[in-house]
Structures are given as C-alpha cells and as structure tokens.
Amino acid sequence: MIGEIAHFLSLSAAVLFGLILIFNFFFYFGKASPNQLVLSTRLFNQACWLVFFSFGIYIYLAINDDFSIAYIASHSNTQLPVFYKITSIWSAHEGSMFLWIVFLIAWSILFIKSLDQNHPLKKLTLLMLSLIILGFLLFLLLTSNPFERILPFGALEGADINPVLQDPALAIHPPMLYLGYVGFVISFSFITAYLVNGNFSLQWEQDIKSWSLLAWIFLTIGIALGSWWAYYELGWGGYWFWDPVENVALMPWLAATAFMHSLFASSKSNVLKAWTMFLGILIFSLSLFGAFIVRSGIIDSVHSFANDPQRGLYLLTFSGLISLFAIGVFAYRLPALNSSNLVVTGSKESFLSMNNILMITSIFSIFLGVTYPLIIESIYSEKVSIGPPYYNSIFAPLILIAAIFIMISIDALWQRRMSFRTFILSILTPTILSVLTIYIIWKITNVFSVLAFIGILSGLLILFSYSIKIITNFIDKKYINKGSAISHIGLGVLFLAISLNSILSYEKNLNLAPGQSIAINDSLKDFSFKSIKVLEASNHDVISAEVSVIQDNRSLSLNPQKRKYTTRGQITSESAIKASVLKDTYLTIGDQLDNGSWTFSLKINYFIKWIWLSVAIMVFGMLLTIFKNKTS
Amino acid sequence: MNMFLRSLIVLLPVLILVFFAKILLVDDEIKFKDFESKNFPEFSLNDLNGDPVRAQSLDGIKLVNVWASWCITCLVEHPFLTKLSGQNFKIIGLNYKDSNAKAVAWLEKHGSPFLFSIYDPRGDLAFDLGVTGAPETFLIIDRKIVAHIQGEMTQKKWDAIFAPKIFKARQPS
C-alpha cells in the first residue's frame, strides 16, 4: 500500500510537469502575465516535492524490507545493516535512475529559487528543466519502474546486495558522480533559454558560474572516488582502466573543465561567448550520452546494467532530441553570437582557446575510442578491444602542448598581446628547471619511456611555472588568483604522479607454503608467509594469510584475505595494502595449489596516493574560486 | 559564419544518433552460430599447470569458455560462469593469447569456474574453432560443437541457446 503511494506521488509529479509544459505552451504566444510565471513556479516546486516524498517513502520501504517490491527484493536482504539497505537502492539500474532524477530535481529547484522573479530567462529555464525532468520521470516509470510489485505474494527474503557493493564507498561514489553529471543541467537549460530568448545584451555568465563550479567539484570527486574505490576496495590494483564507463565520465569532465575556463574568459573580455555556450550544451549532452551508454547495455563493461534495447531506444531518442534542440538553436543563433572583438594573439584568452581546442580534441579521441569497437562490430561483425596504449599515445602529446600553453598563459594578460620579452622570461626558468629535474629523475630511476617522460615534463612545467609565479608575486606583494594557481598545481602533481607511477611500479607473482620465505629485491629483502587461518564472519567465511615483509629495512605485516559470501556464493579478494609516502605495497592472495602452497600477487605501486591527493588539491582550488566568486 | 559550418554542427550529432539507433535496432538479435554437430578440432596443448590435455576430457556435456586475463568482458561474465559451475555444469577454460603467469594470477584473484584451462598462447586451437575474440563460449556434447556464443555469456543467451540443447541431450533417447 505504502509502495503504491510512493508510485502515485511520482506519477502525479510527472503529470504536474506535463501540465506546466502544456499550460505554458498554450499561453506562450499570448500576453504573458506575471501571474502565469508565479503559478508555474509554484506548480514546479510542488511537483519537485512530490518526487522527494516519493523517494523518501522508497527509502523507508527499503529500510523496512518490503520484499513485495521486486527491486528491493532482488537487491537487499534482511541481514544487511540499515546503511546498506539504503545504499542498495542505488546498486542497480532502476534505483540509481531514481536517485539520478531526485538529484536532477534538487539542482533544478534550487536554481529556480536562486533566480529573481522578474529574471528575463526564468520562465524559459523553468520550461526547459520541466521538459528534461518529465522525460526522465517517464523513462523511469515506463521502462524501469522501481515500484513494480511481485504479485500475488512477495518474496520472504531478499537476494542480497552484491558483496563488492557492500562498501562505504558505494554510499558516496554514485551519488557524487550523479550530482556532478546532473548539475550541468543548469548551465544547459540556462544557455538554451538564453539562446531561445535571443536578447544577447543580457549578462548571463555570473548567474551560472558558481553552480557550474559546484557541479564540476562533484563530478571530479565522483570520478576520483570511483578510481579510489576500485583500487583500495575492489582490489583492481590500479587507478584507471580506460573502461568505457570511465571514459563516458571523463568526457563531460573534460568538457566541463574547458567550459569553466572559457566561462571566465567570456565574462572577462567579451570574447569566446559562442565557445562557452557550445561547451555548456556539450557537457550535459555528454552526460546524457553517458547515461545512454551505461544503461542501454550497448557496451560490455564492468559497470553496465542489464541489457535492454527498449530502455536504450527511449534514452537515445529522448536525450538525442533534447541535445539536438539545444544544438539546433545554437547553430541558428550563431551569426548573432559572434562578437566583433577578435581574440588578440598572445593574449590570455588566445592561449585559453588553444587549450579549449586541445580539450575538445581529447574528448573526440575518447569518443572515437569508445565507439570504434561498435563501428567495427557493426561493419565487420568482429569484436575489437581498444585499450590503454591507444589512450596513452593520444594523450601524452596533447597533455604536453596543453602544459606549455598553461605555462605561457600565466604571465599573459587579458585582451592584450604579451611582449616577446615577458614571453621568453616566463618560459625560460621553468623550462630549464624541468629539463634539469627530468635529467635527475632519469639518472635516479634508470628507466626511460618516451610517453612517461612527456607526462613528467608536462607536470614539471606546470609546477615550476606556477611555483615561480607564486613566489615572485608574494615577494612583490602582487595579486595572484589563488584558486586557479592551486588547481593548476594539482594538475601538475597529477601528471607527475601518473607518469612516475607508470615507470616505477612493478608486480611479482609468488608461490609459497606457510613457513617459507623469499628475498625479492634490494628494497624487499624478505617476504615470509607465516601462516593461514580460516575464520567465520556473519555472512561470509574468511581465509586470512599472515605475511611479514622487510621493506627498506622496516618490518611490515600484511593480511590479505579471501571471502566467500554465503548467500550468493560469490568469492571476493581483500587485498592487504601498506602505504607509505612514496609507494603502496599491495598484496593479494590467490588459490592453494596441490602441493599445499599458496599463490600471491605482490604489487609495488609508486606515487599512486599522489593521484588522489592531486585531485584533492584541484578541488580545493576550485572551492576557493567559488568562495571568491560568491563574495565579489 | 557560413551556412556550411552551421549545418555541420547540427549534422554531426544527427549522424551519431542515427548510428547508435542503427546499432540498437539492427544488431539487437543475439549473435550466435549454430553448428550442427561439427567435431571439436584436434589439438595438442597443455593446461595452465603444464600437463597435456587429453581429448577424453571433452566427453559428456562440457562448456568451453574462451577467456584471457586482458579481457574485461571476461570479468563481466565471470560471476555468471561461477554460478554455472556452482550448478555443476562442467566448464573448461580456453586461455587465449595470454601469458601463463598472468592467467594463473587472474584465476587466483577472481576464483576459477573452470575444471582446468587449456593454455593456447598463440591461439592455435582458437583459430581452428573460429574464435574471433574473447570471450566466446562453446557447448560441446561428446566432443561435438553443438552451439557457440560470441561475447558475454548472459542468462538470456544461456536460456535461449544453451539450455534447450542441454535439456535435449539429457533426455534418454
């Protein structure tokens, strides 16, 4: 009964959003009265709250083990702690789509509230948002209904959540990611409204700046958490796999990063407006594309939900129409958008536009990497796999060029050509320092890889040029954009960490019986496998190995485990990780061999923690920028 | 701004949409090849432990799953294979274009649903079987190939293609 109420609330919300659209459509061409907007806003708010209530009830049902609801029955279990009963809601397609919509609505209602009642774009933005919400609500209710009942008798016990999802990271990774994806609906709707409205004297950048920065932060944290989770909890042993689903998250991130940059440029110097709008439309279109890729099952991936062409077709049609509409209006208005001021060569915005182009290039390359196997499959009926070598070789040069432009742009001015002298001075010291450092790294590590060294060079150029700028400006007491400087330093650290990780890390497969020990190399003088224990936990059995390692003259004890979950029979590996500042020692236990010995996989990962640290630095810089934007 | 560029901006997304719609609508039918009792090719290969594989191991009802440690989709279908092996279906792995150490490590990490895995680093047996990539799964009944699936093995494909044939084979004739 309660489930039906929640279902009904969502249905009513869909009807209300539909009414808002019909109502406004019929009256749009007539004389607009202020009451019409007041009424629409009120209806909009009520419809939003209906969905919130509906989701609230759904959480209540999940906590109280209502297994007559098919989705809860197949993804939860009475034995689960309450926390996982709630997170199980977003552990599969229907529930996560529901959460996605709840976030979509949350962003929309907050943004609409933030706009003045007589803001010229309020009505159109509200309509655009209603249309998008309605489309997704219908998608949820028609093709992936989370409220569906098992009739006439519900299940007595749920099928349990997948054990790899029984992790605190699951509670935050998908919600953060969705908040990011969905947050760009604001810039998308607002820009589309601006383009439809056609009054180009309006200033619009400031209204969406903070919102977009916030969405960028969520998206960044969401992606980083996913990578952290895969490494520390799922035991994948790495941080990025160029999995199609990782790629479809990276594309909107790159577009969003380019968008942030040109948003600042266009609010500062009145150029790049068309670019900014195009990027704003592109981000959300790519988010929608991502939803389509993940939820249509068109690509095999560890992330993809069950294959259902009907869902895929609905998503493709709906998101295609929405994006095409926005892009169509953009193309129609393009001649009017072109500002008469040209970008001055050698000005800050000229380097910014170059990096915009580089980011678009990388988005296109990823897009090609994702779709190429599909193209080949549909033409030749053959399966091909595109892996890290493709992406590494494409990204390394792009990153280097981008780093060089970042370095030059630090001392460049808005709207003015930089003098040749400043140009030389600004690149000379960082370049010399970077080349020297690279030489030292090469001498210390004794390894050489072109791609990795390109990455290291890019990271160093950014780090040195920003450090020099910060120090000199501090001494001269000159102004520096702290947020931007910190974020870019984060980016430099990221490039450096990824490249050093790729050349220094190594992996060993070992085969030992309890009581045996072995020397591995100069840094790992002793690896001894002490004993093995079998334990029983509440819903799983555990095999736990006790290993002690002498690494760099320090003694470490490691306890890798294997777990067998009783309800699903699934076996998971819990790797043991010992982390120090420079490297992680990552040990996974395998199977027992016939002679009684056990196999281990030992990975030494250098600088891997620095990857997430760099993301934290970038996010911190972005937070500073939001704060500054709010106070100014 | 010329007309050409403006139409291109709209045309490109339209093309992308049409492409995906085509894939969804046209390529939707489950891809499989139906062999009417073709013999399993002869081979002389070892398993991952280095012991030679005997042809008798293909007697009875067996599944042969082509997999590799580099193959992401293999990891996706892994839980389903584990479920099958839990239901007492006998699955033989065909480790395809892989290195022994990596394959063994993969099995240790994720668990093995296989009775054993045939080690085929150059893809010889896979070539004779007509494998185009990993994963693929063959249904073998008394050393004859009865059915063949390319790509991820799912419950849907299992129910539609393999289950009926196994049911028929188990009926006393």
Average pLDDT over residues A158-172: 75
Write the pLDDT tens digit of every residue in A121-157: 998 999 999 999 999 999 999 998 999 887 766 677 7
Given a cut of 60, is residue B26 above it in pLDDT? Answer: yes
pLDDT at residue A339 in the model? 66
Asked if B139 and B117 sit in the same domain, the reply is yes
Asked if B67 and B22 sit in the same domain, the reply is no
For residue A29, what pLDDT band results from cuts at 50, 70 and 90? low
- Looking up tokens 């250098």 gives A606
Residues of chain B neighbouring A384 (CB-CB closer than 8 A): 133
Residues of chain A neighbouring B27 (CB-CB closer than 8 A): 377-378
Given a cut of 60, is residue A277 above it in pLDDT? Answer: yes
Asked if B2 and B83 sit in the same domain, the reply is no
Residues of chain B neighbouring A588 (CB-CB closer than 8 A): 108-109
- Cα distance from N-terminal residue to C-terminal residue, chain B: 76
Closest by alpha carbon to B27, among A394, A604, A297? A297
Average pLDDT over residues B26-36: 48
Out of B10, B73, B86, the one facing A569 most closely (by C-beta) is: B86
For residue A270, what pLDDT band results from cuts at 50, 70 and 90? confident
**What is the token pair recorded at B15?**
């093309």
User: CB of B82 within 8 Å of any CB in chain A?
Assistant: yes
All domains of chain A in start order, with CATH: 1-166 (no CATH), 169-340 (1.20.120), 388-504 (no CATH), 507-609 (no CATH)
For residue A625, what pLDDT band results from cuts at 50, 70 and 90? very high
**Across all residues in chain B, what is the average pLDDT?**
82
Given a cut of 80, is residue A555 above it in pLDDT? Answer: yes
Question: What is d(CA A447, CA B58) in angstroms, rounded to the nearest whole number?
Answer: 47
Q: Are strands B91-96 and B61-67 parallel, antiparallel or unpaired?
A: parallel
Q: Contact, B172 vs B88, CB < 8 A?
A: no
Write the pLDDT tens digit of every residue in A307-324: 567 788 899 999 999 999
pLDDT at residue B34 in the model? 45
> In degrees to the nearest 10, what's the CA dihedral of A32, A36, A41, A42?
170
User: CB of B160 within 8 Å of any CB in chain A?
Assistant: no
For residue B29, what pLDDT band results from cuts at 50, 70 and 90? very low
**What is the token pair recorded at B34?**
């139906």
Write the pLDDT tens digit of every residue in A34-73: 788 888 999 999 999 999 999 999 999 999 988 889 888 8
Asked if B50 and B78 sit in the same domain, the reply is yes
Asked if B16 and B53 sit in the same domain, the reply is no
For residue A165, what pLDDT band results from cuts at 50, 70 and 90? confident
Question: What is d(CA A572, CA A453) in angstroms, rounded to the nearest whole number?
Answer: 36
Q: Contact, A547 vs A528, CB < 8 A?
A: yes
Closest by alpha carbon to A497, among A254, A256, A247, A240? A240
Choose the mutation target among A247, A300, A564, A586 for the interface with B, i.e. most B CBs under 10 Å.
Answer: A300
- Cα distance from N-terminal residue to C-terminal residue, chain A: 52
pLDDT at residue B108 in the model? 86
User: CB of B149 within 8 Å of any CB in chain A?
Assistant: no
Write the pLDDT tens digit of every residue in B98-115: 888 888 888 888 888 998
Asked if B24 and B40 sit in the same domain, the reply is no
pLDDT at residue A569 in the model? 63
A163, HSE (Cβ side, Cα atoms, 13 Å): 18
Write the pLDDT tens digit of every residue in A454-469: 999 999 999 999 999 9
pLDDT at residue B31 in the model? 42
Least confident segment among A227-236, A506-515, A606-615:
A227-236
Out of B71, B72, B109, the one facing A573 most closely (by C-beta) is: B109
**Across all residues in chain A, what is the average pLDDT?**
88
Given a cut of 50, is residue A446 above it in pLDDT? Answer: yes
Question: What is d(CA B29, CA B25) in angstroms, rounded to the nearest whole number?
Answer: 9
Q: Contact, A530 vs A560, CB < 8 A?
A: no
Nearest-10 crossing angle of helices A93-114, A168-183? 50
Asked if B23 and B80 sit in the same domain, the reply is no
Average pLDDT over residues A118-123: 88
Asked if B72 and B148 sit in the same domain, the reply is yes
Q: A525: part of which helix (H) or strand (E)?
A: strand A524-536
Give the CATH number, domain containing residue B116.
Answer: 3.40.30.10
Asked if B21 and B68 sit in the same domain, the reply is no
pLDDT at residue A261 in the model? 92
User: CB of B33 within 8 Å of any CB in chain A?
Assistant: no
Asked if B20 and B69 sit in the same domain, the reply is no
Write the pLDDT tens digit of every residue in A191-222: 999 999 888 888 888 889 999 999 999 999 99
State whether B110 and A573 contact (CB < 8 Å): yes
Q: Which residues contact A399 (CB under 8 A, 6 or more apart)?
A: A454, A455, A458, A495
Average pLDDT over residues B43-68: 86
Give the pTM. Answer: 0.81
Q: Contact, A277 vs A337, CB < 8 A?
A: yes
Write the pLDDT tens digit of every residue in A504-545: 988 888 888 888 888 888 888 888 998 888 888 777 788 899
User: CB of B31 within 8 Å of any CB in chain A?
Assistant: yes
State whether A385 and B72 contact (CB < 8 Å): yes
Q: What range does the domain containing B17 cover?
A: 1-28
For residue A243, what pLDDT band results from cuts at 50, 70 and 90? confident
Choose the mutation target among A601, A602, A603 for the interface with B, i.e. most B CBs under 10 Å.
Answer: A601
Asked if B21 and B50 sit in the same domain, the reply is no
Residues of chain A neighbouring B22 (CB-CB closer than 8 A): 378
Question: What is d(CA A66, CA A70) in angstroms, rounded to the nearest whole number?
Answer: 9
Asked if B57 and B22 sit in the same domain, the reply is no
Q: What is the ipTM of this complex?
A: 0.79
Query: DSSP 3-state assignment of A444?
Result: helix
Length of chain B: 173
Total tally of structural domains belonging to chain B: 2
State whether A324 and B10 contact (CB < 8 Å): yes
Residues of chain A neighbouring B149 (CB-CB closer than 8 A): none
Given a cut of 60, is residue A159 above it in pLDDT? Answer: yes
**Other Cβ atoms within 10 Å of A195 Cβ, number:** 23
User: CB of A589 within 8 Å of any CB in chain B?
Assistant: yes
Given a cut of 60, is residue A377 above it in pLDDT? Answer: yes
Secondary structure (H, E, C), A116-168: CCCCCCHHHHHHHHHHHHHHHHHHHHHHCCCCCECCCCCCCCCCCCCHHHCCH
